[in-house]
Each structure stands twice: as structure tokens, then as C-alpha cells.
Structure 1
């Protein structure tokens, strides 16, 4: 399972900035070679390919990436959604997550059991079915919104479960899965922890309601990444990453992504690993650093 040679391991362990050009030259020679895990960039990571997202997708494929993410897919025109789907199909690439329109974020909370909030969520689910058909998506991100602090926590949880069951009923006939994402952006957000999300998914009891495990948010909220994935593994079909602090590419923060990705690889994970983060450097230099970082952690597998 370990493919790296002693020499390669020694070079990577030095961390010398002087090695970066040589490492990227090796990456360039390997353009088109797929990674061991299915990392998914998003628009704006490879602007050197041009402003057009289709051109960026083709360039991502040339670099060895085999999936993309696009949170803002619902805001694109029908024509552009369709074109993206056709491009991905031709390149044999997968579409990762997009965000369900008005999917409960912020003050529009499913925890309150307010009809207007639930109606907005369900309308977003219906729209997501059509969006997914155009771009060949299988997953859509949902965040239940903020706490409703006038209600007991157990009642809020029951309200969220009830709303999500109704959303799952919309998704199930179409093979679309909403993935619930615990976030660290604000303590006002209802969904923040892995075990909490696991409990909700078990209660919804649908193949169309699962967990989006974003390692950046989980590292901030509770840490213990591998253990939390292990505990909730049967409800996690989708992973996102970003190093902490800073939310940049792996190797820029405190998370040992070599170990995290080794865990995923040895579990036989075949899903998408969304690159839900920024970049430590700008321009072409940043793109080279990004690819170098993913090659480094992926070569560990």
C-alpha cells in the first residue's frame, strides 16, 4: 500500500522551500495522473486556465483531479448547469456538492418549526432535484440554520428531523442525497457536532439524509477527526477538507492530513474529498503550491 521510495520520503520530510520548484516539476510531468483519493477543486482555484469555469474544469482534469464542487451551482443559468454536466460526463469526472437554495442557513431555521422556513427549505429541495439532473450531481449540502433558543433543545432537534424527513421524501426517488454539514462559523448555528448530526441522520432514517464531514469545521469545534469519522462512518458519504488555522490547503496548518487521508484510503473510501478551502498563495505560485500539497499528502498513500 505504501508506494513511496526512501528517497521520495526523505525529500518530502525536509520541508525545504528550495525543493518546491523540483517537486512541482515532477507534478507537471504527472499531469493527468489521477490521485489516489478523489479530490474536488472549485471555481477560482485555477484562474490561470482562464475565467471560464468550463476551461478551468478541463485544466483540473489535466492536473489529475476527477471531481469538482460548486456551492453556487443553483445561481448559474440552466444553460450553464447543463454545459457543466456535459463537460463532466465527457471527462468522466464527478460533480460534488452544491448548496440547496435557502437550505435553512442562518435565521431561516428548521429548528423553529415555522411554516415559512420549512416551505423555503422544501422549495429548495424541489429546485435541487432539477439542478442535479442538469449537472449530474448526487449530493446537495443542507444546513438547518440557527438555534431557536426559546425552545428546548430536544424539541428543536425533533423539528429539524421532521423537516429533513420531508426533504428526504423529495430526494429519494431521484437518488439525490442531502448531506448535513456541521459548521463552526457561529455558535448560533444549530448543527455543530458530528455525533449530533449522526443522531439526526439515524432518526431521519433515509438514504437521502447523511453527513457531510468537513474536517476544517470539525477540527475547530471538537477535533479528534479520525475517531469522529470512525464512530459515525456508516452515515458519512462525503468529506471536505481545509487546514486549520487559516482554512488553506493541507500542510499549511495543524491537521496531519497524511494520517487523515491514510485513514480514508484504508477504509476504502471512494467518495469525493471536497477542497473546501482557500489558498496560501495567490496567482500561479498559489496554484503550484496547491497541487504540490495534494501530491505530497496523496503520495503518502
Structure 2
């Protein structure tokens, strides 16, 4: 039985790249929308934008660049240029948040330019690039969100991956055009102490993404106490989007209802 979409205090979204995987993308989006969820997509260059518009779905976020990096001059120029192209697509789709990483990721989630050691100059360049992204976002009415990742399992070699690093950068820029895409799954693998991390990030959270550990499936399949996470988010005053960026461990609709149930209060 479907749980009513209005039952959660949060806006709930589902990543169309990871559920209903036996269906064409546009059919996945329609199924997610019919269940009352917003829709997340990744690389917009791989989608028929006109078809996405015609679906009538509400989109929560997408990748906010095509290529580039934060912390070197050539890579930053490339990232900023493709971010501007991404803004144009986001405006067509009504997408409010554009996701950014420390470097471009390939089809397996691995960094195009791996980095194992960060210099002071790289930190300063990343901050400069993020400040420019924030300015772009504010000018065009969208928000760039810098996502934390984990380097232990899914994204080895990605710079600025830890949530503590993401918070330090976003806090130092301190502009409304830049916020954190707080990924609870990645934070559990990389850092733990999730509720304290949520409290520390509270003023800067733009969106929250979730999946359970291990396995990256819907809440309730692993070790994370998602009802406690939901209460912690509610306690800090967060009422924004929580997105399932995980695989279905079972029938997709049952998995999505299980995700929704985890965020009832």
C-alpha cells in the first residue's frame, strides 16, 4: 500500500538513475512522479530534455556540470563553463539545485583526475571556484550544492570528499548560491557520527541524500537508524528535500514506500 506523499514533513525525491532500472528513463520518471515523489537525475547530457519536460514531473536536482575540477585553473574554467550550460537546462526543467563534486566522475563514479593529497593552493583555488559558482547561481536563481562522497568504497581519489571538508569550503564561501548536498550514506562510510554532523552542517544544508550501509539500498536495509536521522533533521529545522539515491533491495515500489516510511514523524 502506498503511504500518502503528504505524510512526511520533508519533500521526498527519488533518483531515477537507480530505481525501475528495467524501464526506459522516461517511464522511470513517470513511475516515480505517480508515487508522489520529486525526481533526481544525474548527467543531463544523457537525457532527452524535451521528453523530461513533457513528463510533467517535478525535478529536485541534477548534476551541475559536465566536466572540470574545482582546484586547478584549467579544470576550474572548464567546470564553470559547463556549469553555465547546466544552468540553462536546469531552468528549462525547473530544477532548483545543481550538484557539484571535487572533480568530474566517470561512468563508474571514479574521478577523472584522481587526487590523493591536497595542497593549500588547491584549497584556495577550490574556494575561489565555488565562490564563482555561487555568484552564477545567485544571478540565475539556482543553488549549487557541493556533495560529500566516500573514498573508501565508491569514489576513491575524489578530492574534498569528506563532509568535514565540504562544510569547511561551503562555510568559507558563505553565500546563498552555494550549499551542501549532505549525503548520509557517504558520510556514514567516511566519517560516522551522523547526527552531530547534521547539527554542524545545519545552516548550510541545501538538500539531503540517503541510502543505507552496506549495500546502498533504501533505508531499513542496513545499519543507519533513519528514524533518528529524520528526527535530527526535523530538530534542526530542516524542511527541504530528502532524496533516495540508492538501489531497491526488493520490488521497487515497496522499496520507495519503505524510504517514505523512514521519514514520517
Q: 1:212 to 1:31 in 2, by over 3 A?
A: closer
Could you tell me which residue of structure 2 aligns to residue 72 of structure 1?
43
Choose between structure 1 and 2: higher strand proportion. 2
The 5 Å alignment of 1:15-54 reads: 27-28=1-2, 30=3, 34-43=7-16, 45-46=19-20, 51=24, 53=26
* 2:95 is aligned with 1:137: yes
Match of 1:110 among 70, 91, 98: 70
Measured on the aligned residues, the alpha-carbon RMSD in Å equals 2.4
Deviation at 1:295, TM superposition (A): 4.3
Please give the alpha-carbon distance, in whole angstroms, between the structure 1 residues aligned to 2:245 and 2:197.
Answer: 19
Normalization by structure 2: what TM-score? 0.85
Please give the alpha-carbon distance, in whole angstroms, between the structure 2 residues aligned to 1:275 and 1:240.
Answer: 6
Structure 1 contact 74–131 (Cα < 8 Å) conserved: no
Deviation at 1:63, TM superposition (A): 2.5
Residues 234-293 of structure 1, C-alpha deviation per residue, up to 9 Å, x if partnerless?
111110001000000000000000110122233332211111111112xxxx12430342
SS in 1 for 2:15: coil
Q: 1:69 to 1:34 in 2, by over 3 A?
A: farther
Structure 1 contact 98–140 (Cα < 8 Å) conserved: yes
Larger Rg: 1
Could you tell me which residue of structure 2 aligns to residue 263 of structure 1?
232
Aligned length: 252
Residues 192-213 of structure 1, C-alpha deviation per residue, up to 9 Å, x if partnerless?
2222111111222321111110
Structure 1 contact 100–141 (Cα < 8 Å) conserved: yes
Please give the alpha-carbon distance, in whole angstroms, between the structure 2 residues aligned to 1:101 and 1:295.
Answer: 29
Could you tell me which residue of structure 2 aligns to residue 234 of structure 1?
203
Deviation at 1:166, TM superposition (A): 2.0
Deviation at 1:97, TM superposition (A): 1.4
Normalization by structure 1: what TM-score? 0.75
